[in-house]
Chain A
Amino acid sequence: MMFAALTARLWYLQVLATQGYVEQVNNASFRWLQVEPERGRILDSKGDPLVENRLTRVVTVQEQLLGDDPEAVLFRLAQHLDVPEQDIVERLQSKDYYDYQRVPVAIDVSEEDIFYIAEHSDEFPGVYWDEQTVRRYPRGPLAAHVLGQLGLIDRDEVDQPAFEDYGPNEEVGKTGLEKTYERFLHGVPGTNKIVVNPAGKLLDELGGRLPQPGDDVRLYLDSRLQAAVERRLQEGIERARSMPDEDTANDVANFVANAGAVVVLDPKTFGVEASASWPSFDPNWFVKGMTDRENRERITSPEAGGPLFDRVTQGTYAPGSTFKPFIALAAVRNDVTSLGAYTDCPSSWAYPLDPEHPFNNWSSYSRGPISIPTALEVSCDTVFYQWGAEFYDRWKADQLGTASEPLQRDLRGFGFGRDPGIDLPSRSSGFIPTADWKQKQHEADDKLFPYGWLPGDDVLMSIGQGYVLTSPLQVAAAYASLVNGGRLCEPRLAERIQNAEGRPVSKPGPQRCEDLPYTQQELGVIQEGLRQVVQGDEGTAASAFAGFPFARVPIMGKTGTAERPGFTTVEGQTQGQDTSWFAAIVGPSNDQHVIVAMVEQAGHGSTTAAPIVRTIIEDMYDLGDTGAPVIEATD
């Protein structure tokens, strides 16, 4: 009877009703599908990869299909994969994914673990596994800030024309170079008639159009130099933390030196040869996907110090005395002074109409009249105060004139207060204060700036203080224009786009350049001043470069020590420690490099930033140890 029943049913299914089932099979299992291309790599200047791809096995979970007892399934999964259950739950709760999507909860899962899950699929409803291409960083955290991360495409992005080729589950560049050069890195998806199972997994390909892999982005960035820069920056920060802060009246005994940045720029191409920001992070954190807890510990906690923030392009600081070459050029251009003129350098100077409030030089030593190069060499604040005051008087006399703020105009000409245009999606313009800005602030809030634009605004701007803010990148680009004949370009990380065989296929995109209205003679005088800063007897960086073999590697530079307003910390109100700056132009005139170092809350330019640059130069030119800098606090 049993056999009769079974046979009868089989006869019905397989002989009488078979046609309908055959059709169902043929319709269900084939689909036209888009095949995602392999993403292009990011290479350094020598063609070695900084970002490449690797295959990994991931376990994904579709929350809706976990069944009646989702906790039990997740518990088993966590136990089996030997990861904390909390991590899996947090990943599932990630806002990056929608409910119907499969959320990767574990990456780099072993073959054995996948096999176990496959074998006990009834114990793991809603749990899937997949092979995925993820980013690999062969150099680890090197240059982490510029590379950028991938992330799931946004819902509104999918509908944009730029993302026409993209599917809803696709990863796109979210930050850094990955975002800027998305259109080259992504490649062209193929279409394929494929065989899929009901879960949508690709099982067999029946042909179609093959995807075209993305192109590689090759950078100006030199890995070897980048590694040296990152190491030297960190060493310099550690050195600063061991130095007592004798200047400020706060209770912090040593420098806080909480962060710093170094950028190296080629003044001919404006290619970024190295760019380091500290504290830093490891891009692999994002490949694995971070849980809330890891995110708190590594990124958002006060102790972490904002590691994702790229201080080279996004951080803005008062530039201090590194601003002076540009003030001097503006003063000459606007006939505030002349190229060969000598200006008094007293230890203190007051605006004639306000003698009660004198502005001091950083040094208490009074000098007689000095030339522009000497004013740069000894970084005489009072010389620049006088020029700043002259700019103020002119504005005061002709407030409605078309070029009533020539100083601000010329500073903007050097790129300050403007979008630097580097090929990174997130970059800061810095800030150059104007009378108009003050007025608008006052209109918005009565309590702000009741006295309007004041002499002190121009006076302080002339030494890179007051409301002026610049990023280290902007400083580097402006210094590059001093030695390349007065040409300012948008800095570039990417040198070219090339295919997998290394052949250039296209330009990364247009690079805007401007010729600045300064003569070779004017620039030469400034360069002479910058040479004396480092190599002259009284130069503010002479101590930092004591014993350096200038005959082998010529160096120009300018120190900067920028006061920083007080700020609130976890412990309470604190007097900000000075920002330490050093901008250098290194190498023979046919092969120069601009190096700018900046360390927050680290005192004088000569004691922290300049020694960092010195060690970087030693590494760049394989000079070995050229001797220790003499620690002497100058401007």
Chain B
Amino acid sequence: MDLIAGRVWADERRPIRHLDPVLLVTTMLLAAAGLFLVYSATHQSLDALKLDPAQFVKKQFTAFVLGFVLLILVAAFDYRFYKVYAGFIYGAVVVALVIVRFTPLGSNPSGAQRWFTFGGFQLTPSEFAKIALILMIATVLSELRTAEPMLIDVLRVTMIAIVPIGLVFIQPDIGTTIVLVAILVGTLVVAGTRPRHLAVLAVTACVLLFGAFQLNVIKGYQLDRLVAFLDSGSDTQGANYNRNQAEIAIGAGGLLGQGYLHGKLTNLDFVPEQHTDFIFTALGEEFGFVGAACMLALFAILMWRAIRIAYLSKDAFGTFVASGIAAMFAIQMFVNIGMVIGIMPITGIPLPFVSYGGSSMLANFIAVGLLLNIHMRRFT
């Protein structure tokens, strides 16, 4: 092989040349849409308080920039590297979850304990638990000697997952718990777990959940929300209020929407938590069915790219990581939008890249960084 041909060959195999521009652009579009929607959902009420109407957006933008930097960092180092450190990352997140729940360092000693406070920012460890769990499960499953996991392997992976899942569940944060379970199940399915084994898992989970109800681990408001979902005519001002207002806002959007910053309910604080979990209502009201369908399309592209990367991955680790991430995005998108439009119960799950929230933004960018990483290095 002559020198020049060698250099061209090496050049062609440089990871940066195999970036996935579709994935990158899709991510950016979602995050940018999020900034506009957060502004729309918050500017009026901030203005009414004589506060800076862009206050939330500025914080969100900061998270966006930080997230992008993290994406580059995560993509820069070969992802196989992370396999080595998966154990450490997993351990660190578990320790953080324990500290946030059981020590006064967690922000709210008497209520839900979900975040640490640093200066003006909060760090929510459960967001990063998603990434840690994906890496850890992928590491364990990729080390298997057999072609498909035996029951003992399934149990091992499940035991690994159950620790952060349990810690998040008792925070209590049902939303993130669901996402973590989806990651576990999704990755196991991709790894070729037999349906029989999955059934065993499902039965065990049911028994555990029943026990949780019996021991009163599940808080009253979570039950309220569940009951409200099952009986939606019951109580307009209480637990059902959020979903009714959200439904009205989206319904009022019509085909084309009311126009940006012209959604009445969005402007007027009708939908509680609108900049976080209910951000989709702002889109639905102001951009109508067309806007909502566009966002669904963006999420579809995101998932298509993630699943594609899982196929293209050079090794099993990459496949499992990519499928874990695909499962994570899929469940979050489906449960969030589903709850907003009334086909899923209300659980506190943010819409990836769009909902207001720094930690969620950072975790999602790290996930995309991992996807890009796997895609870039599919030949090396």
A residues in contact (CB < 8 Å) with B = 2-3, 5-7, 9-11, 13-15, 17-18, 20-22, 24-26, 28-29, 57, 67-69, 71-73, 75-76, 111, 114-115, 118-119, 121-123, 129, 131, 195-199, 201-204
Residues of chain A within 8 A of B91, CB atoms compared: none
Give the residues from 243 to 271 in chain B that come closer than 8 angstroms, CB to CB, to chain A.
245, 247-255, 264-265, 267-270
Residues of chain A within 8 A of B46, CB atoms compared: 118
For the complex, give the distance between the alpha carbons of A10 and B254 in Å.
Answer: 9
Instruction: Let me know if A29 and B284 touch, CB within 8 A.
Output: no
Instruction: Let me know if A68 and B341 touch, CB within 8 A.
Output: no
Given A76-B108, A122-B273, A3 and B221 contact (CB-CB distance below 8 Å): no
| Apart from the given pairs A123-B112, A197-B268, 19 other A-B contacts in the complex at a CB distance below 8 Å | A2-B330, A5-B338, A11-B289, A13-B341, A15-B255, A15-B289, A21-B250, A25-B264, A68-B219, A68-B220, A68-B221, A72-B111, A118-B46, A121-B272, A123-B111, A131-B50, A197-B269, A203-B48, A203-B267
Given A14-B288, A118-B49, A24 and B250 contact (CB-CB distance below 8 Å): no
Q: Which 10 A-B pairs have the closest CB atoms?
A: A21-B251, A14-B289, A197-B269, A72-B110, A18-B254, A21-B252, A25-B252, A13-B251, A68-B220, A197-B268
For the complex, give the distance between the alpha carbons of A68 and B51 in Å.
Answer: 30
Say how far A129's CB is from chain B's closest CB, in angstroms. Answer: 7
For the complex, give the distance between the alpha carbons of A3 and B299 in Å.
Answer: 9
Instruction: Let me know if A29 and B264 touch, CB within 8 A.
Output: yes
Residues of chain A within 8 A of B108, CB atoms compared: 72, 76, 123
**10 pairs from A and B in contact (CB 8 Å cutoff):** A7-B296, A13-B247, A14-B254, A22-B254, A24-B252, A25-B248, A28-B270, A73-B111, A195-B268, A203-B269
Instruction: Let me know if A17 and B338 touch, CB within 8 A.
Output: no
| Residue of A10, A20, A199, A203 touching B44 (CB-CB under 8 A) | A203
Given A10-B250, A18-B254, A22-B254, A115 and B51 contact (CB-CB distance below 8 Å): yes
SS of B interface (majority):
helix
Residues of chain A within 8 A of B56, CB atoms compared: 119
Say how far A279's CB is from chain B's closest CB, in angstroms. Answer: 39
Instruction: Let me know if A2 and B48 touch, CB within 8 A.
Output: no
Residues of chain B within 8 A of A121, CB atoms compared: 272-273
| Residue of A9, A24, A76, A202 touching B341 (CB-CB under 8 A) | A9
Given A6-B341, A7-B296, A201-B48, A17 and B270 contact (CB-CB distance below 8 Å): no
Instruction: Let me know if B248 and A10 touch, CB within 8 A.
Output: no
Instruction: Let me know if B269 and A201 touch, CB within 8 A.
Output: yes
Instruction: Let me know if B296 and A3 touch, CB within 8 A.
Output: yes
For the complex, give the distance between the alpha carbons of A123 and B110 in Å.
Answer: 11
- Per-position binary interface string of chain B over residues 263-298, scored 1 when its CB falls under 8 Å from any chain A CB and 0 otherwise: 011011110110000000000100011001100100
Most B-side CB within 10 Å, residue of A21, A68, A201: A21
Say how far A24's CB is from chain B's closest CB, in angstroms. Answer: 5
Instruction: Let me know if B342 and A22 touch, CB within 8 A.
Output: no
Instruction: Let me know if A10 and B292 touch, CB within 8 A.
Output: yes
Residues of chain B within 8 A of A131, CB atoms compared: 49-50
Cβ of B321 within 8 Å of any chain A Cβ, yes or no, is no
Instruction: Let me know if B110 and A14 touch, CB within 8 A.
Output: no
Residues of chain B within 8 A of A28, CB atoms compared: 248, 270
Closest to A197 in B: B269
Instruction: Let me know if A29 and B110 touch, CB within 8 A.
Output: no
Residues of chain B within 8 A of A76, CB atoms compared: 108, 110-111
Residues of chain A within 8 A of B230, CB atoms compared: none
Instruction: Let me know if B111 and A69 touch, CB within 8 A.
Output: yes
Cβ of B159 within 8 Å of any chain A Cβ, yes or no, is no
For the complex, give the distance between the alpha carbons of A397 and B45 in Å.
Answer: 83
Residues of chain B within 8 A of A202, CB atoms compared: 48
Instruction: Let me know if B49 and A25 touch, CB within 8 A.
Output: no
Residues of chain A within 8 A of B249, CB atoms compared: 21, 25
Instruction: Let me know if B253 and A29 touch, CB within 8 A.
Output: no
Residues of chain B within 8 A of A7, CB atoms compared: 293, 296
For the complex, give the distance between the alpha carbons of A69 and B108 in Å.
Answer: 13
For the complex, give the distance between the alpha carbons of A119 and B296 in Å.
Answer: 27
Closest to B42 in A: A118
| Residue of B264, B269, B343 touching A9 (CB-CB under 8 A) | B343
Instruction: Let me know if B255 and A10 touch, CB within 8 A.
Output: no
Most B-side CB within 10 Å, residue of A24, A76, A131: A24
Give the residues from 330 to 380 in chain B that come closer than 8 angstroms, CB to CB, to chain A.
330, 333-334, 337-338, 341-343, 348
B residues in contact (CB < 8 Å) with A = 44-46, 48-51, 55-56, 108-112, 219-221, 245, 247-255, 264-265, 267-270, 272-273, 284, 288-289, 292-293, 296, 299-300, 330, 333-334, 337-338, 341-343, 348
Residues of chain A within 8 A of B293, CB atoms compared: 7, 10
Given A72-B110, A76-B110, A199-B269, A118 and B252 contact (CB-CB distance below 8 Å): no
Instruction: Let me know if A13 and B268 touch, CB within 8 A.
Output: no
| Residue of B51, B245, B253, B300 touching A3 (CB-CB under 8 A) | B300
For the complex, give the distance between the alpha carbons of A18 and B285 in Å.
Answer: 10
For the complex, give the distance between the alpha carbons of A114 and B52 in Å.
Answer: 12
Instruction: Let me know if B252 and A22 touch, CB within 8 A.
Output: yes
Say how far A539's CB is from chain B's closest CB, in angstroms. Answer: 64
Closest to B292 in A: A10
For the complex, give the distance between the alpha carbons of A69 and B342 in Å.
Answer: 27
Residues of chain A within 8 A of B272, CB atoms compared: 121
Residues of chain B within 8 A of A203, CB atoms compared: 44-45, 48, 267-269
Residues of chain A within 8 A of B273, CB atoms compared: 121-122
Residues of chain A within 8 A of B284, CB atoms compared: 10, 13-14
Closest to A124 in B: B111
Instruction: Let me know if B49 and A129 touch, CB within 8 A.
Output: yes
For the complex, give the distance between the alpha carbons of A201 and B299 in Å.
Answer: 36
For the complex, give the distance between the alpha carbons of A198 and B236 in Å.
Answer: 12
Residues of chain B within 8 A of A2, CB atoms compared: 330, 333-334
Residues of chain B within 8 A of A17, CB atoms compared: 251
Residues of chain B within 8 A of A68, CB atoms compared: 219-221
Instruction: Let me know if B265 and A25 touch, CB within 8 A.
Output: yes
Say how far B69's CB is from chain A's closest CB, in angstroms. Answer: 23
Most B-side CB within 10 Å, residue of A11, A118, A123, A196: A118
Say how far B357's CB is from chain A's closest CB, in angstroms. Answer: 10
Say how far A204's CB is from chain B's closest CB, in angstroms. Answer: 8
Say how far A576's CB is from chain B's closest CB, in angstroms. Answer: 55
For the complex, give the distance between the alpha carbons of A122 and B356 in Å.
Answer: 14
Say how far A42's CB is from chain B's closest CB, in angstroms. Answer: 27
For the complex, give the distance between the alpha carbons of A10 and B297 in Å.
Answer: 13
Say how far A133's CB is from chain B's closest CB, in angstroms. Answer: 14
Say how far A7's CB is from chain B's closest CB, in angstroms. Answer: 6
Say how far B38's CB is from chain A's closest CB, in angstroms. Answer: 12
Residues of chain B within 8 A of A20, CB atoms compared: 251
Residues of chain B within 8 A of A9, CB atoms compared: 338, 341-343
For the complex, give the distance between the alpha carbons of A203 and B267 in Å.
Answer: 9
Closest to B289 in A: A14
Instruction: Let me know if B254 and A111 touch, CB within 8 A.
Output: no
Instruction: Let me know if A14 and B250 touch, CB within 8 A.
Output: yes
Say how far A165's CB is from chain B's closest CB, in angstroms. Answer: 25
Instruction: Let me know if B51 and A114 touch, CB within 8 A.
Output: yes
Instruction: Let me know if B252 and A18 touch, CB within 8 A.
Output: yes
For the complex, give the distance between the alpha carbons of A426 and B358 in Å.
Answer: 59
Most B-side CB within 10 Å, residue of A10, A57, A115: A10
Residues of chain A within 8 A of B269, CB atoms compared: 197-199, 201, 203
For the complex, give the distance between the alpha carbons of A25 and B255 in Å.
Answer: 16
Residues of chain A within 8 A of B268, CB atoms compared: 29, 195-197, 203-204
Instruction: Let me know if B270 and A197 touch, CB within 8 A.
Output: yes
For the complex, give the distance between the alpha carbons of A57 and B51 in Å.
Answer: 11
Closest to B276 in A: A122
Residues of chain B within 8 A of A195, CB atoms compared: 264, 268
| Residue of A6, A10, A15, A123 touching B334 (CB-CB under 8 A) | A6
For the complex, give the distance between the alpha carbons of A26 and B50 in Å.
Answer: 26
Say how far B91's CB is from chain A's closest CB, in angstroms. Answer: 29
Instruction: Let me know if B292 and A18 touch, CB within 8 A.
Output: no
